[in-house]
């Protein structure tokens, strides 16, 4: 992935990326649930005094609920879910996440590493353009292959507490999507994921630049065959700063992706990326386009720091 390790074997990057992504995803799962709910228009924390339940009643479709009140911050949202739906609800969608994050991250890091080798041979080595093209190729590859997994995860996370005891499992969710929407249903939100490649590309440009500055710094002696504790914190810091900047600039695609994937029954309001973007802008303004941003940042910054530090550590320790 990096200049120092771009020549390492693909298997090395597959395993390192998979482990790093899994560790980070499991640690931040509750924040992912809260963020998805805040992004959605079907389920939200409404500012009402008493609990209200609104469901989509089309046969076989997932039902989505409108929960009682809108807590003031991320952790109040988390507490609200915990109190009204139980602790397990904070981990909705974790099964497909754990099933998907390892192959998704493995695919991404491996594709990035291979693409970077190719682009370095035809463009100025390790230039921002190389990082941009490599990240774009990796992002499109990952999004295309893994979109069905994230579609199922989103539906499970939006499956709030309902009046009946029946709960959807990942398998039941897959069957429901296929029955009601067909194979195309598993690829809802893919256009928004493609738009999100811009965030990933920006992230890698910043991250690679910060790593390059770290190598030049007299305070760091990072090498491709060693890994020290101070290196761990440097990689975590670089990843956190890069993710904060890239996410803040490109966040609206996250909201649009959730809207495209949510279950609206037969009265679907969100159809394509640009139509959805325009609709949210007209109906909810800038605030709607950045719904859940605070929660998202609280989740993705430590997630990214943990994932990249783990990845870099494994790659270097594995190197001969």
Where does residue 207 rank: exposed (0-12), middle (13-18), buried (19+ CB within 10 A)?
A: buried
CA–CA distance, 268 with 213 (Å, rounded to integer): 48
User: How many Å separate Cα 2 from the centre of its chain?
Assistant: 21
Residue 81 CB: number of other CB atoms within 10 A?
A: 23
Q: What are residue 67's DSSP bridge partners?
A: 45
pLDDT at 56 over 60: no
Task: Look at residues 320, 307, 254 and name the one whose alpha carbon lies nearest to residue 22.
Answer: 307
Residue 300 pLDDT grade (very low, low, confident, very high; cuts 50, 70, 90): confident
Contacts of 35 (CB under 8 A, 6+ apart): 292, 295, 296, 299
* 169 and 227 Cβ atoms separated by less than 8 Å: no
Would you state the pLDDT for residue 122?
93
Residue 10 pLDDT grade (very low, low, confident, very high; cuts 50, 70, 90): low
Taking residues 47-72, report their average pLDDT: 41
Residue 287 CB: number of other CB atoms within 10 A?
A: 9
Taking residues 264-290, report their average pLDDT: 90
Q: What are residue 45's DSSP bridge partners?
A: 67
Q: Which two tokens stand for residue 57?
A: 């009643």
Domains of the chain with bracketed CATH: 10-318 (1.50.40.10)
CA–CA distance, 247 with 250 (Å, rounded to integer): 5
Would you state the pLDDT for residue 9?
59
Where does residue 77 rank: exposed (0-12), middle (13-18), buried (19+ CB within 10 A)?
A: buried
pLDDT in tens, 189-211: 999 999 988 898 888 889 888 88
Residue 252 CB: number of other CB atoms within 10 A?
A: 21
pLDDT in tens, 278-295: 999 999 999 999 988 988
CA–CA distance, 115 with 107 (Å, rounded to integer): 12
User: How high does pLDDT run on average in the chain?
Assistant: 78
Q: What is the CA radius of gyration of the chain?
A: 20
């Amino acid at each position: 992935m990096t200049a120092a390790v771009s020549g390492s074997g693909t298997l090395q990057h597959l395993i390192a990326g998979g482990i790093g992504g899994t560790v980070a995803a499991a640690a931040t799962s509750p924040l992912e649930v809260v963020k998805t709910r805040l992004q959605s228009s079907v389920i939200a924390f409404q500012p009402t005094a008493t609990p209200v339940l609104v469901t989509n009643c089309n046969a076989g479709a997932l039902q989505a609920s409108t929960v009682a009140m809108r807590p003031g911050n991320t952790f109040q949202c988390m507490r609200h879910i915990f109190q009204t739906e139980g602790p397990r609800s904070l981990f909705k969608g974790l099964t497909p996440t754990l099933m998907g994050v390892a192959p998704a991250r493995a695919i991404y890091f491996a594709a990035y590493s291979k693409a970077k080798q190719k682009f370095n041979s035809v463009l100025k080595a390790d230039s921002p353009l190389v990082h941009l093209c490599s990240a774009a190729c990796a992002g499109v590859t990952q999004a295309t292959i893994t979109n069905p997994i994230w579609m199922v995860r989103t539906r499970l996370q939006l499956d709030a507490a309902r009046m009946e005891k029946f709960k959807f499992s990942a398998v039941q969710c897959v069957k429901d999507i296929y029955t009601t929407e067909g194979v195309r249903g598993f690829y809802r939100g893919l256009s928004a994921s493609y738009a999100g490649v811009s965030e990933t590309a920006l992230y890698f440009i910043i991250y690679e630049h910060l790593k390059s500055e770290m190598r030049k710094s007299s305070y760091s002696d990072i090498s491709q065959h060693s890994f020290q504790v101070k290196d761990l914190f440097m990689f975590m810091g670089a990843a956190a700063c890069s993710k904060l900047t890239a996410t803040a600039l490109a966040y609206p695609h996250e909201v649009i992706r959730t809207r495209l994937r949510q279950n609206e029954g037969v009265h679907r309001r969100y159809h394509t990326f640009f139509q959805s973007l325009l609709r949210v802008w007209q109906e909810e303004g800038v605030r709607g386009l950045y719904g859940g941003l605070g929660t998202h940042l609280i989740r993705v910054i430590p997630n990214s720091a943990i994932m990249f530090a783990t990845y870099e550590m494994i790659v270097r320790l594995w190197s001969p």
